Each structure stands twice: as structure tokens, then as C-alpha cells.
Amino acid sequence: MKIDVNQLAEYLAQTPFQVQGVYRYARNPGVPHADYTDSFPGFVFPLTGKIQFQFNGTPYIFTPGKVVHGGAKMKLSQKVFGKTDWEYILVLYRICNSELKESSFLHQHFELLTGQSPRLLELIMRLWHVYNQRGGISMFQTEMLFRDVLNEALLCVDNRQNSCETHTLFERVSNYMQEYYDQSLTIASLAEQNNVNRNRLSYVFRTHAGMGPAEYLLKYRLNMAQRMLFTSDVPVQQIAQAVGIADPFYFSRVFKKQFGISPTKYREKFINNPC
């Protein structure tokens, strides 16, 4: 099931918990497995391979790039894919406050799509090594590292979600610009239309296009004007208006800045040298 990463982060921030065990599993297909999860909830960090486990009938495919959480004493079943080996690390934990043990997250199964994160892999491997050492320092490091692991996993999920959201916003606004470039568009109106502020819209365009929305719109208009100069004998002033630039002097100035030549000379050059 899907989970709200911010709600999960808030829950982890407010809930005292302690690591109960860190276990590394590397199995070949056909090896028997348990019918139920442990008496503690846990997070599964897939390292290699691919295998499917079902928690109370809900399937989850364990592959690198995701983290899976399972509640305590859930019905468990397994499905392997061909002859592919698989490996994962399981971290069991317990809630230290008895009043919080009925929390919804504690009894849920869900997955977090972290994507491939070298830092997350490094942290989880360090956690496994530290847990298998002896002494009070290793116990303390285990608790600290587990929180670092969860922090990195949550950040990875949040960054992926933000990336998807910004890409969707960029696609929506840029497609709108390309369809209505000939109309009187303003960045303020585009931001308001998409329920974001101008700074957010600017950030999205700089992230996905390498330039701000105003520059993106202007470049698109100029490219369309360039095409019109090739394919028609319409006066330059009318072409400027046709691409949404009302001031012909401004149009000529920005056209020359982008293409190194004025619109009139650009057309003459094309007519004289059609090839």
C-alpha cells in the first residue's frame, strides 16, 4: 500500500523505538521460509535480486530501490522468480511506549520507493556490521545508524516525489505555453493558473529546462517566428504579433540577440540562399 511519507516521518519523530535485530538473508530459490512475520514489526532493505512476499495476502516485490515495512505476526507467503538469487537486510524494532503500540503504522505493511541510493546502501551495510559487534558503543551506534537509515530512506522518497511533481508541473505549463504562445501570457497568470507562486514556477523551469519560464516562452516564440520567416512572406511586424510579441522593435531586438541577425536580414539571407 502507499504511505504518506510526511505522516510516517512525523510518527517516527514522536515515537520512541528500539532496534530488536538486524539480519541479513541471502537465499536460493526453494529454501523454506516462515509462514508468519516476526513478533516485532520491521523494515526490509532489498540488496540484490528479486522475490515476492505477501503480507496478509498483499504482494510486495523485493528489489533494490525500495524499502518494505511489515507488521508483527502477519501471514507470510513467498513467490520466487525463476532461478534468481535474492538478498535483503531485515531490521526489527519495537515500540518502547506501550500507549503507542496500537499505532496504525506499527500494524501496517507498505513500501517506500527510494530509488537507487548509494548512501542508503552504505548506511544499511554499516548498520548490519555494527549490530554484529559487541559492546555498549556498538549498541549505541546501532540505534543511531538505524535512525540515519530511516532518515535517508525518507529523504529519498521525498526527493523522488518532488521530482515527479515538478516534472508534471513543467510538462503541464510548457505544453500550455506551446499551445497558446500567440496569446498574452504572463508568468504571474501561469503561476496562478497552476496554484503555485512565481518562485516555485521559476524553480521548476530552471530544474527541467535550464532557464526561467519567461525565457522559455520567449525562446519558443522566437523559434516559431523563425519558422514563419522561412515559410511565408508576411511582414515582420505581423509575425511579431502572430507569436505574441506586440512591440515589433522589441521583437527585432530579441530576435537578433538570439540568432545574431535581424528578422529582415534573416529572411533575405534565406531567400538568397535557400539551401
Give pLDDT, residue 153.
Answer: 96
Fold of 180-275: Arc Repressor Mutant, subunit A (1.10.10)
Which three cell numbers, joined as nine digits, stand for 25? 538473508
Match domain 5-161 to its CATH number in 1.10.150.120, 3.90.79.10, 2.60.120.280, 2.60.120.1570: 2.60.120.280
> What's the predicted TM-score (pTM) here?
0.68
Domain with CATH 2.60.120.280 in the chain: 5-161
pLDDT 10s digits, 96-155? 876 655 666 778 999 999 998 989 999 999 999 999 998 999 999 999 999 999 999 999
Q: Kindly indicate the confidence band of residue 46, based on its pLDDT and cuts at 50, 70 and 90.
A: very high
Rounded CA separation 174/29 (Å): 49
Residue 253 has pLDDT above 90, yes or no: yes
pLDDT of residue 1: 67
* Chain segment 254-269, per-residue pLDDT in tens: 999 999 999 999 888 8
Residues of the chain with CATH 1.10.10.60: 180-275
List, in order, residues 6 or more apart from 151 with CB less than 8 Å away.
Answer: none
Q: What is the pLDDT of residues 76-103, one digit of tens each?
A: 998 887 777 789 999 999 998 766 556 6
* CA 268 distance to own-chain centroid: 48
Q: 3-state SS of 190-209?
A: HHHHCCCCHHHHHHHHHHHC
Question: What tens digit of pLDDT does each residue of 181-219 get?
Answer: 999 999 999 999 999 999 999 999 998 899 999 999 999
